[in-house]
Amino acid sequence: MIKKVSLMNKLNLWVKKLGKIANALKQFTADKTPHLYEEVTSMEVEGFDDDFLCSMFDYLVSHEFKAKAFLVKSKKHRKI
């Protein structure tokens, strides 16, 4: 009986951990395109041309890892 309780506790712990992993993966794969667009186009205020920013957005959409890096950097460290 004690072994069953211990096993159930371990299984419950694993289920919780798997739930957290699944949630993290869900957030990781969520579509960030609208947010990326807002962040890129907000740079128009900083003097970048609208056509250039649209091209930059298209580039980042086609290069997922670069887009993720762009989004996590502070505005001061973003390079176009």
Q: Say what the pLDDT of residue 58 is.
A: 92
pLDDT at site 31: 75
**Distance in angstroms (rounded) separating the CA atoms of residues 58 and 61:** 5
**Residue 55 pLDDT:** 93
Q: What does the pLDDT look like over 12-69, one tens digit per residue?
A: 888 888 877 777 766 666 678 888 898 898 887 777 888 999 999 999 989 888 888 8
Q: What is the pTM of this model?
A: 0.57
Per-residue confidence (pLDDT) for residue 1, from 0 to 100 = 62
Tokens 């371990």 found at: 10
What pLDDT is recorded for position 25?
65
How would you label 49-65 residue by residue, b for 16+ Cβ within 10 Å and e otherwise? eeeebeebbeebeeeee
